[in-house]
Structure 1
Amino acid sequence: MSYKNFLSFSITDSICTGTLCRYDSDENVMEIKDICRFSNSEIYVNNHRYHDILSVFSHIKKGISKALKETDNNIESIGISAYGREYGLIDKYGFLIQNVFSCKDSRTDNMTDKVLRFIKKDDVFTTTGANLSKYSSMVQLMAEMDSRPYILENTDTFLMLPDLLNYMLTGRKTAEYTNAFSSQLMNCEKMDWSGKIISMLRIRRNIFPEISDNCFNDMLPEICSELKCEPVKIKICGSEISNISAILEKYPHSVIINNSEHTKICIFTDKPVLSKSASDYEIENTGTYNKKFIAFHNENGINITDDTIKCFTQRDIPCSYSKLSNTALNAEPLRCFIDTQLDIFENNDNIPIAIQDYCKNSGQYVPQNVSEMVRCLYESIAFRYADTIEKLKRISSQSYNSVCMTGKDSDNPVICQTLADICGVSVYAFPEKTMLYCNLAIQMKQSLDMNISDIISILIPEEKITEYKPSGDNKALNAYQSFSVTSSYTCV
């Protein structure tokens, strides 16, 4: 038998995982196993929020060590993907200058107003492909210049978080293309650091490393010695949202709805979508590993579901994604709806009461029990997704023939079937770990000399995907159209 082993780490701002994939080329099958899981919780010090990057690095090394033992020191490559707004600053001696701040740290409060003194809001969008956000790397750097300019004066290299981990493992200072894209410091059309943005920040251009789309580097000899292994290739796999493009290789005319830390509705494009209507609707653009683009919109879908689960759990009501889905099926469909994007449903610790209040105040039927409240929530999420999909289609001038649901709560029968009936296309529910499979597929492509679509087909065989076909019943579509008139949905 001929085996190749691939190790992939997915670093999020909550739980991180290390996954081992064993490919049997004779049988053309892949066996996947979790090697490690560890927390990446924020640390609060003197009213500031940090990520413990050294702890993450230590856990990664432990995961590598465990994988080496399980594979008899036979690992083809190690891939790392991570969330995309945090960064590290390296001095001329190669040392990390400061702890890695969370993008949610308070130092960026009110900082967007200062940015707008130097650059127009529209220019930010047309240059970087995303609207100005207090969480972006650009605004964080403005905060550094505003309060602690000496930090940047002593900076030799700026590295986004995945690139920082790559540096710690390989000693190489490079910027993976999609990570640079997510920093809001890159010109999305020229695919290089934006001199306009960087000069506006009054930062030296030379601290930003070369942007590369092929970040395979050898692990440092001292780490190989520590782990008692031969040199291993380290691959920076890019930001998680960009890696969803692996699914789009197999389903090129699909809309992707990804529920990971947040819900993102994505569509493949050949160039960034930079129109005023895209900016007004808060469309964001990101690059993909194959130098195409994804236009996407952030939604509250999975966040409001998580808040609902938390609320019921606090009331000692056993709750999970599957239990909520089954509960919703017991309620009569299409009786009442909410607009899930309203502020009253964001970070609300009593979603059930908020649902009832909204329905009462809008003159609708008020759900009376858990089943009815959850049914209302799920159908409303589907309504919102349908509205966003239509806007993405219109703004990007891209057509679609299916919808792919990935991530947490992806196989939700109420959401999937309602969405299929409104959009009139099949909705495919992929396994929860689809993002991990995408990361692996991009990492494995070069070593296996296979195209991404074929790798995805092996990692996610058809029997693991549930298809929801349009039922032919127009009740959901009629209810959606009726609710759209009275909700905050806007035509673009």
Structure 2
Amino acid sequence: MKHQFLAVDLGATSGRTVLGTVTDDVVTMKELTRFGHDIVSMGNHRYWDFPHLYNEIESALSLLASQGITPTSIGIDTWGVDIVCFGDDGLPLANPFSYRDPHTADEPARFFRDCLPSEHVYDLTGIQVMNFNTLFQLSAMKRDGNSALNAARRIMFLPDALSYLLCGIEVTEYTIASTSQLLNPTTRRIEPALLSALGLQPDIFPPLIMPATVIGRLTPAVSHRTGMAQIPVISVAGHDTASAVAAIPATDESFAYLSSGTWSLMGIEVPQPIINDDSCVANFTNEGGVDGTTRFLKNICGMWLLESCRNEWEKEGLPTDFDTLFTLSDRVTDPMRSIIFPDAAEFGSPVSMLDAIRTYCRESGQPVPETQGEITRCILVSLALRYRQVMEMLKRFAPFPIKRLHIIGGGSRNERLNRMTADVLRMPVVAGPVECTALGNVMLQAKAAGVVSNLERMRAVIRKSVELKEFQPSGENNELWDEAYARFLTLPK
């Protein structure tokens, strides 16, 4: 029997809608629409264009209706942490802040000083301290007397807010809430002590639900506008990484994963949160997964580095396609001459990424990369070395031997970096699927529809449906990698 599901997959720079079809234990994907969405700067802040995102969802529903296709359901996943405030009339009060807004730059230190100590917050949440976490966004908004927060009856994370506008039902999905540094992974509820520290009411967030839950159906108004029947709206794994990890075609537990895109997220899947002094010092995060799992991981600055450089090169009229950049990087005579720490603060949101990289290298006493090839090589090598550092930490925490690394997402197509990663880790790397987030979204809708029963079954269907590529460590240049890694560990953080 054929089932079709509409997956809305919103990343931090672009979005798309995909029609997934599950037939005879195989899933196929067809992209319907793809669209960009930019951060909008107004005054001193950076926002997301929330109405634009919602309009693109209705456009996809209209497109399917015009083709006579009625999917079994629709599900939405997005990036983490960002929120929408809703008023008493049930309408959004303002466009949501982007997590790249500078108002949270110093907020963790202020919150830990004035509200709760950092160790206590980590004990409650098990979440890596990052200045843009929802906890610190709310703290900054409270500090600034933000009018939307002051008037809010409800706060919803982005996928929940979009689902609410489709079906009129307010929920808080577990995996997206787990990115916020507000969720207690042991009690699996928004932590009252943190809400109290923020001066927020206990019911400011809607009730919590788990992935693969039916929220409601399209409202009559949405159905009328789009021509689509009142199909169910499913709460998938609302955090895009949670949906992506659910789609890893693993055969057993002995793996680590790297969700590679604008951000790189490296971690393991474990049955229980890992919250102790060592994980706190190492700044690892415990985020919600599917079927009761926990994603124990670390956020790493990913292809944001190269994407930012490409944007600058494009304005200079220089080539920006990956094939050209990788070819230029291969021609660098000393391939490990310049290394950066990818997660250094200066690379978070610089005016010029090229200038930030060159300044970092100059101030750390290294040769300054000037050409496109030198910059590209510096970024790729530095990311591979950071992956080795995080993998060595993961091995100390994992309750099982890590035998391979699954790289998923758009970055799984980056064969240069995949080969480097296999070599520096001295571990097999399995690349794919590229469409992991949308696949996870679709398969969680299939789970809600009773087509598959659990996470293991979801992954079995995906294994039969996708092509994977494996990279074995070459054994070449081990001494060069080791020398570069020793230098990497001494770099300014």
TM-score norm. by structure 2 comes to: 0.87
SS in 2 for 1:409: helix
| Mapped contact 1:9–1:18 kept (Cα < 8 A) | yes
454 and 324 in structure 1: CA distance in 2 versus 1, 3 angstrom threshold: farther
SS in 2 for 1:295: strand
**1:30-429 aligned within 5 A:** 30-70=27-67, 72-116=68-112, 117-148=114-145, 151-152=148-149, 154-213=151-210, 214-216=212-214, 217-237=216-236, 238-248=238-248, 250-251=250-251, 252-330=253-331, 335-341=336-342, 342=344, 347=350, 349=352, 351=354, 354=357, 358=361, 362=365, 370-371=372-373, 374-429=376-431
Q: Which structure has more RCO (C-alpha within 8 Å, separation ≥ 6)?
A: 2
SS in 1 for 2:257: strand
Residue aligning to 1:480: 481
Q: Deviation string for 1:137-157 (max 9, x for gaps)?
A: 222222333333775564332
Q: Deviation string for 1:149-203 (max 9, x for gaps)?
A: 7755643322111111111111111111112211221112111110111111121
Query: Whole-Å Cα distance in 2 between the matches of residues 90 and 344 of structure 1?
Result: 34
SS in 2 for 1:470: coil
Give the letter for the 1:385 counterpart.
Answer: Y
SS in 2 for 1:464: coil
69 and 256 in structure 1: CA distance in 2 versus 1, 3 angstrom threshold: same
Give the letter for the 1:243 counterpart.
Answer: S
SS in 2 for 1:307: helix
Give the letter for the 2:44 counterpart.
Answer: N
**1:426-465 aligned within 5 A:** 426-447=428-449, 448-449=451-452, 451-456=454-459, 458-459=461-462, 461=464, 464-465=467-468
Query: Whole-Å Cα distance in 1 between the matches of residues 123 and 339 of structure 2?
Result: 33
Q: For structure 1, which segment, 110-119 or 320-329, has the greater mean C-alpha deviation from structure 2 after superposition?
A: 320-329
SS in 2 for 1:101: coil
229 and 292 in structure 1: CA distance in 2 versus 1, 3 angstrom threshold: same
Query: Whole-Å Cα distance in 2 between the matches of residues 97 and 380 of structure 1?
Result: 42
Query: Whole-Å Cα distance in 2 between the matches of residues 123 and 247 of structure 1?
Result: 33
395 and 142 in structure 1: CA distance in 2 versus 1, 3 angstrom threshold: same
SS in 2 for 1:97: coil
SS in 1 for 2:235: strand
315 and 96 in structure 1: CA distance in 2 versus 1, 3 angstrom threshold: closer
Q: CA RMSD in A?
A: 3.0
Q: How many residues align?
A: 483
Please, which runs of 5 or more residues in structure 2 have no aligned partner?
none
Please, which runs of 5 or more residues in structure 1 have no aligned partner?
none
234 and 489 in structure 1: CA distance in 2 versus 1, 3 angstrom threshold: farther
| Mapped contact 1:249–1:453 kept (Cα < 8 A) | no
| Mapped contact 1:79–1:236 kept (Cα < 8 A) | yes
Q: For structure 1, which segment, 368-377 or 87-96, has the greater mean C-alpha deviation from structure 2 after superposition?
A: 368-377
Q: Identity of paired residues, percent?
A: 19
Q: For structure 1, which segment, 145-154 or 277-286, has the greater mean C-alpha deviation from structure 2 after superposition?
A: 145-154
175 and 401 in structure 1: CA distance in 2 versus 1, 3 angstrom threshold: same
Give the letter for the 1:449 counterpart.
Answer: V
359 and 394 in structure 1: CA distance in 2 versus 1, 3 angstrom threshold: farther
